[in-house]
Amino acid sequence: MANLNKHITDFILYAEQEKGYSVHTITSYSNDLNRFDLFMKSYTNNPKWTVDKIDRQTIRHFLGKEFEEDFSSRTVARRLATIKSFCKYIHKNDVIKTNPSTNIKTPKTPKTLPVYIREKSIEDLMNSPKADTLIGIRDRALLELFYSTGMRLSELVNLNLGDFNSDQQCVRVFGKGKKERLIPYGNRAKISIDNYMLKRGISIKTGDAKEPCFINSKGMRISTRTVQRRVSMYLQQIAEGSSLGPHTLRHSFATHMLERGADIRALKDFLGHSSLSSTQVYTHIQPEKMKEIYKQAHPHGE
């Protein structure tokens, strides 16, 4: 039986190249499996243990140890998901005869509602960047596109000029698993992007299709960390909270769409969710809005 590190390396390459998972997911997989490896070395008292030693009991003991070390249920659940994916992979490739992780229940995790900002605060947010600097104009375009489409941070930083159809006002993004989807964007976002491109001396229509949409001061593609820092800075100017960031705009997009009557199945496609359950969290965000609609619509609502 091949060395464990070989199986882990093969699995990581499979997740990265064939499944197209993000850098964040790949890093989590690597960290989780390395932690499980350290546990198994101690558990089996064998630094060269093999994957046939993984069974239901060892996985449950690993999860128990993680809880004993005060890791959150969310973290433990993620580590179990990694182990399940790994076991499924090596079972599918006939490395092990049975999958020991199949019937292990995932720890219950507390449900947290997404953080979003009120619709009336959006105007203030969009006016936060300086209108007389290239970086400010870039940031305005970035904020407008983020809010207009609800795309993920990773999708935004990877945008190229060739991904835009400015006539149709649609942008192509590559989501999780490299799944491609088209998202429409509004006039405000179009005007801001066109203004940003004008300041850069290029055009979406005639520019190099592989040119990054958003760049830093050195002319290179903007980094996720820079976007996180800039967006968080602007959000903190108009709202309070420790978890404000790019995802806040995605959550705000989804919340405001539903508040204005968008179909939840259509919203699922906009957001690039693989299942409707991921989208349904937004239906529980604003009970006061639901009460308002109820009072207006129901004969005995008052």
Q: Report pLDDT digits (tens) over 239-288.
A: 876 678 888 999 999 989 988 888 888 889 889 888 887 788 777 655 55
Which of 138, 152, 190, 230 is catalytic? The answer is 152
Q: What percent of the chain has pLDDT over 70?
A: 91
Which of 176, 188, 199, 200 is catalytic? The answer is 176
What do you get for the CA distance between the two ends of the chain, in Å?
71
In a domain, 299, yes or no: no
Task: Provide the pLDDT for residue 288.
Answer: 57
152 is known as an active-site residue: yes
175 shares a domain with 55? no
Distances (CA, A) of 76 to 43, 54, 215, 221: 18, 17, 37, 35
Which of 78, 79, 138, 250 is catalytic? The answer is 250
234 shares a domain with 164? yes
282 is known as an active-site residue: yes
178 shares a domain with 88? no
How far apart are alpha carbons 186 and 188 in whole angstroms? 6
176 is known as an active-site residue: yes
Torsion region of 6: left, alpha or beta (phi above 0 gives left; psi -120 to 50 gives alpha): alpha
In a domain, 112, yes or no: no
Average pLDDT taken over every residue of the chain: 88
Indicate whether 131 pLDDT > 70.
yes
Task: Give me the domain span that covers residue 12.
Answer: 4-92
188 is known as an active-site residue: no
88 is known as an active-site residue: no
24 is known as an active-site residue: no
How far apart are alpha carbons 200 and 220 in whole angstroms? 13
Dihedral (CA of 100, 102, 107, 113) sign: positive
In a domain, 98, yes or no: no
In a domain, 301, yes or no: no
